[in-house]
Chains A and B, each alone.
Chain A
Amino acid sequence: MSQSPENKKGQVETTGHVWDGDLREYNNPLPRWWLWGFYGTIIFAVVYWILYPAWPYADTFTKGVATVSFQAPVLDKEGKPVKAADGTVEMQTKTEHWNSRALFYQEMQTSPSALAQQEWLAKVKDMSFEQIAANPDTLNFANAMGHALFGDHCAACHGTGGQGVLSMNPEASYPNLTDNAWIHGGDYTKIVQDMTNGIKGNMPAFGALFKGEKLTDLAQYVLSLSHQPGVNEEAANRGKASFATCAGCHGANGEGNQMIGAPNLTDKIWDFVDVSGAPTIDGKLKLVEGVIDHGLQHQMPKFSDRLTPEQIRLLAVYVRQLGGT
């Protein structure tokens, strides 16, 4: 490719092809840096083939000699993780040929940020909820981790900020976690318990028991408990007698019962139907009547098989302070 020695200075070799009698093609040498760069890429490619997966053959491919190691759960014959007596998953070192999925696992276990997270997790492991919340640094960690977990596991129903969904249709409503009322109780252990085991909320339908005017009167009474404007006092008084049926769960004065998840009816918060959002008293009545008539079924799935106990603990710290106290 370079100039042959017999070529005089200032003469460029041609390919030897001649067209139309005098048309020739130069055989200019490639710049040296370019040529060395080209050889470099060839060496690079060969090294790459040796190290990494590269060539397909038959139904598989060359694996390369580079490997990635990471910790993976020990699996039993059915492919399920083997758990030790205390519920922790047994881990073993697994080595695979270089691939980005293994690299991802490795990074999630050994990268500086993963190690920093493990350090923080170890720090809060033996702290009580109150201790975590009382230290600005551990609280920040719980909030950061809680916020991420909340986005992954809770936000689909409760909203990204924990604001829930309050609509006219009780079946499409999800409780607001940023106010200061807790339907099922708001201390740390209760929140952890509900997230671990899930919640089944059930109010039976009373449509068969209360019909027509009786139903309206009861609804008027329920609205009067939280001093809604426009309530007919007379009708409310008539409905008070029917409320005895409700008192079993909601309490004699409608103050609710967190043990069985019966909401407080005397406060200004509506959890499943947007009574405050209804513009007229007739609208509000209709919403309350609907709930009494059809009852309410609500479910929150259990998260014990999706989240570790430590994750649930941190989520509880995060959720607990969303609304303040």
Chain B
Amino acid sequence: MSSVDLTEQEPELYQARDPIHPKSIKGRFRTFKTSVLVLAYAIFFLLPWVRWERLVGPNQAVMFDIPTRRYYLFDLVIHPQDMFLLAGFLILAAWLLFFVTGLVGRAFCGYFCFQTLWTDVFMKVEHWVQGDRNKRLKLEKQGWNLEKIAKKGITILIWTLIAFWTGFTFTAYWADAPHLFVAFFTGTAASAAYMTTGILTLTTLVAAGFAREQVCIYMCPYARFQAVMFDKETLLVSYDAARGEGSQGRKPLQKGLMALEERHASGTGDCIDCKLCVQVCPTGIDIRDGLQLACISCGLCIDACDEIMTKRGWPTGLIRYASEQELETGKKPSLLKFRTIGYGLATFLASALLIYGILTIKPLDFSIQQIRQPLFVVMSDGSVQNNYELKINNKEQYALELELSVLGLKDAQIAIGGNFTTLDIPPDETRNYLIHIRAPRESGLSRQLITFKLTDKTGHLPVIESTTSFNFK
């Protein structure tokens, strides 16, 4: 078979991924990343096990109970009727993301995203079992001998355990955690629990263990759209090319170019081309090429460069958080620009609305619907009866004793299906009633608006009313 020369079409379309083995580094940003990681892991892994006293419902502090359709968040119980709060929360999260991105770039990607956090942990495991970058690269190259099999095997085993516990912890948010724990390992948990845990174990293992930066580069939509929120004043992890390249470009340390003065005199930049910033990068890029899609803004290259600069006694900050404008003109970004104020205001408004929504959740819902088949019935004494379907939803943690009355209808008689006189609604439950309203026929009148009034007999809750119609004919 012959071939056609395709050298112009670089890079290759079907090139397999080269695994990235970042070097570990110490520094300000590493410390910050580790603190966020510890905090996030502590919250995620411990929260399902926190117990919480409630009058009604599970004693788990945070639980998303699908069968009973209740979201328990400490003392807050979210009912399906209040699900708009979730939308409010998501809108707030979006505005906050925009606000932060406009100000300091992809801070979410670099420090808070769970893909970053889990990849970080998985890399630490790799580092712990297989050694640092050089040893890992060596291991990668060597053939499949016992050492490689053992080291890779142990790594994947630990990854799988972490991935499994991640999946199980996620599942524990949707059920009573201690009970689920016992049921899960005795084989009696719901199939949904096994499936959720299984799928999450698999996706965690694949995403954090094998796919890693490819998730950020090829799969993640946030990575793409956050970049469009940048402007000239957005803080980015940037390489100060003017300082680093000088007029003659970067050059390694060599005779005659050891001290800063010598380098400046010859026009050589401050960058000694040690490539440490490339080696520490979790997505394997060279920050000196400028702003690029694959940069998750984690700041590890800043730590790396600062370390080298400090060692040489040169000023740090060759790679630093700086805006494009700052690099070009030296002007520091101003916080009070239209974009930050706008996003900030939107974030503030969304939080205010969310808090207002939570504080004003109605403790009691009721709906009354006229039954339309038939719309009205003539009774034996010639009076007219209309039926209504009453639905009462008690969202309180205590039982309610309610009284139903009707206003605006002359000589109205009220009867509740089952001959109840008071409506007893157990805590956190919904009940339906059939209501019969009977009234003498009014000549000439075909329809009248009436108001149902629901009174709490204990007087805790305000009276609530709902207006509907009564049909005479």
Contacts and interface: CB of A to CB of B under 8 A. Distances in A.
Nearest to B9: A10
Contacts of A10: 5-7, 9-10, 12
Given A136-B424, A268-B381, A161 B1 contact: no
Highest count of chain A CB atoms <10 Å: which of B373, B381, B417, B432: B417
A216 interface: no
Interface in A28-66: 28-29, 31-32
B330 interface: no
Contact of A324 (B373, B381, B385): B385
A239 to B, nearest CB: 23
A31 B17 CA distance: 13
Given A161-B373, A268-B382, A134 B14 contact: no
A160 B371 CA distance: 11
Highest count of chain A CB atoms <10 Å: which of B374, B378, B418, B438: B418
Interface size class, chain B: 35 or more
Contacts of B382: 268
Interface stretch (A74-82, A175-183, A298-306): A175-183
Interface stretch (A13-21, A100-108, A240-248, A288-296): A13-21
B377 A178 contact: yes
B379 interface: yes
B6 A321 contact: no
B225 interface: no
Interface in A128-171: 133-136, 139-140, 143, 159-161, 163
B431 A161 contact: no
A121 interface: no
Contacts of B10: 10
A70 to B, nearest CB: 19
Interface of A is mostly: loop
Nearest to B15: A9
Interface in B232-267: none
B1 A264 contact: no
B6 A24 contact: no
Contacts of A276: 378
Contact of A27 (B1, B377, B420): B1
B380 interface: yes
A4 interface: yes
A91 B392 CA distance: 41
Contacts of B12: 9-10
A179 B385 contact: yes
B380 A179 contact: yes
A269 B159 CA distance: 78
A267 interface: yes
B4 interface: yes
B434 A143 contact: yes
B387 interface: yes
Interface string B398-425: 0000000000000000010111100010
A197 B432 CA distance: 32
Nearest to B429: A137
Contacts of A323: 377, 379, 385, 436
Contacts of B377: 163, 176, 178-179, 323
B442 to A, nearest CB: 15
A136 B380 contact: no
Contacts of A93: none
Highest count of chain B CB atoms <10 Å: which of A11, A27, A180, A323: A180
Contact of B417 (A7, A181, A321): A321
A95 B16 CA distance: 50
B380 A268 contact: yes
A325 interface: yes
A13 B379 CA distance: 90
B3 interface: yes
A235 B387 CA distance: 39
Nearest to B441: A268
A278 interface: no
B378 A324 contact: no
Contacts of A268: 378-382
B15 to A, nearest CB: 10
A16 B385 CA distance: 88
B2 interface: yes
A14 B4 contact: yes
A180 B379 contact: yes
A12 interface: yes
A29 B14 contact: yes
Nearest to B437: A324
Contacts of B378: 179, 268-269, 276
Highest count of chain A CB atoms <10 Å: which of B2, B377, B380, B431: B377
Contacts of B174: none
Contacts of B4: 11-12, 14, 24, 26
B418 A133 contact: yes
B194 interface: no
Nearest to A264: B380
A79 B200 CA distance: 51
A156 to B, nearest CB: 14
Interface of B: 1-7, 9-10, 12-14, 16, 371-374, 377-382, 385, 387, 415, 417-420, 424, 431-434, 436, 438
19 contacts: A10-B10, A11-B3, A11-B4, A12-B6, A14-B2, A15-B1, A26-B4, A134-B419, A143-B432, A161-B371, A163-B377, A176-B374, A179-B377, A179-B378, A180-B380, A268-B381, A269-B380, A324-B415, A325-B415
Interface of A: 4, 7-16, 24, 26-29, 31-32, 133-136, 139-140, 143, 159-161, 163, 176, 178-181, 264, 267-269, 276, 321-325
Given A28-B13, A29-B14, A269-B378, 17 more contacts: A10-B6, A16-B1, A24-B4, A134-B418, A135-B418, A136-B431, A139-B417, A140-B432, A143-B432, A143-B434, A161-B374, A179-B377, A180-B379, A180-B380, A268-B378, A268-B380, A268-B381
Q: Which 7 pairs of residues, A with B, have the shortest CB-CB distance?
A: A161-B373, A267-B380, A163-B374, A324-B436, A268-B382, A10-B7, A11-B3
